[in-house]
């Protein structure tokens, strides 16, 4: 792997202070060469096993691994956005089939938010209430829309955003992988600039940490430090749920660019040496001719 990366990434998850196990799952896929980068980009995933469901930790890990596999093996999609949507939908089908094969009444479901970097284009997929944000020049903006009951009530004007914070049904989500045959999966596309950050997280973070605090922390700290600081802050304020965070900073230097630089650099060095050598020979010949001419003139 080249030291020059398109994405400087930090993914971190924590059990929190209340839960006896972690139902969140985080994963990534990063290319090892320019061909893989061009074909698949850089992939990052945060999933949250739905609270109240059986084996939420199984659902989040299984769906994440299946989504990643489907994405990497899909060569038939019309574009990156469709490819991401198909991979998430296929993971949903696989999860439902796994439950059906068990022949019991287990209910497995998970939220999922994922980001795929293809050069300066980023594709964000979301189902449930895990979130994706875009940070640029000190300002944070939520990319995704929460698939939750309170978000819908706020959108319809039934309650205010302030009322939504402590709403008794704030944990009810409307869509998730595994909950239905074709859940609502949103795909967003945006263009990033060097220094921009895509931030993914589960609701275990946003229930304790305000957007303004996320904005300040990821803007002031390196990705690895920022994810740790945010999770520690959520735990300090109660840590009522599992907490996951992924800070993904667009660094602009792709593996393809680095390969191009390497090829160009190694070809220029010998060329420069040859030119210097030819120039030295030329000066020597000129000097020799001048000496001969001066000697000839002195003999006249």
Q: If you write DSSP's letter for every residue of 253-293 in order, what string do you get?
A: --HHHHHHHHHHHHHHHHHHHHHHHHHHHHHHHHHHHHHHH
In the structure, what pLDDT confidence band is assigned to residue 270 with cuts at 50, 70 and 90? Answer: very low
Question: Over 60: is that where the pLDDT of 174 sits?
Answer: yes
Residue 150 confidence (pLDDT): 75
Q: Cβ neighbours of residue 126 under 8 Å, at least 6 residues apart?
A: 112, 113, 114, 132, 143, 144, 145, 147, 185, 186, 188
Residue 82 confidence (pLDDT): 96
Domain ranges of the chain: 7-253, 255-300
CATH architecture, range 7-253 = 4-Layer Sandwich (3.60)
| pLDDT one-digit tens code per residue, 193-252 | 999 999 999 999 999 999 999 999 999 999 999 999 999 999 999 999 999 999 999 997
Helix (H, G, I), strand (E, B) or coil at 206: helix
Containing 25, the helix (H) or strand (E) segment is strand 24-29
CB atoms within 10 A of CB 215: 18
| pLDDT one-digit tens code per residue, 19-75 | 999 999 999 999 999 999 999 999 999 999 986 666 899 999 999 999 999 999 998
- CA angle (207, 212, 215) in 5-degree steps: 105
- Are 183 and 126 contacting, i.e. CB atoms less than 8 angstroms apart? no
């Amino acid at each position: 792997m080249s030291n020059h990366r398109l994405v400087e990434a930090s993914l971190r998850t924590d059990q929190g202070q209340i839960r006896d196990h972690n139902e969140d799952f985080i994963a990534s896929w990063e290319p090892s060469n320019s061909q893989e980068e061009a074909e698949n980009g850089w992939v990052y995933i945060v999933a949250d096993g739905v609270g109240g469901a059986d084996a939420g930790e199984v659902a989040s890990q299984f769906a994440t691994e299946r989504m990643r596999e489907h994405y990497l093996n899909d060569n038939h999609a019309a574009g990156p956005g469709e490819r991401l949507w198909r991979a998430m939908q296929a993971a949903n089908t696989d999860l439902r089939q796994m439950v059906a094969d068990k022949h019991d009444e287990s209910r497995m479901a998970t939220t999922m938010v994922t980001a795929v970097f293809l050069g300066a284009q980023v594709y964000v997929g979301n189902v449930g209430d895990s979130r994706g944000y875009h940070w640029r020049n000190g300002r944070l903006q939520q990319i995704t829309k929460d698939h939750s009951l309170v978000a819908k009530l706020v959108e319809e004007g039934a309650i205010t955003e302030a009322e939504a914070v402590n709403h008794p049904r704030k944990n009810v989500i409307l869509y998730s992988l595994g909950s239905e045959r074709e859940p609502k999966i949103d795909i967003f596309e945006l263009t990033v600039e060097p220094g921009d950050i895509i931030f993914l997280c589960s609701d275990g973070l946003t229930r304790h940490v305000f957007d303004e605090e996320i904005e300040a922390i990821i803007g002031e700290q390196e990705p690895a430090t920022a994810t740790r600081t945010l999770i520690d802050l959520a735990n300090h304020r109660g840590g009522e749920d599992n907490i996951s965070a992924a800070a993904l900073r667009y660094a602009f230097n792709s593996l393809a660019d680095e390969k191009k630089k390497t090829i160009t650099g190694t070809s220029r060095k010998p060329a420069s040496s040859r030119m210097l050598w030819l120039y030295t020979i030329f000066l020597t010949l000129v000097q020799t001719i001048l000496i001969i001419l001066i000697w000839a003139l002195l003999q006249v």
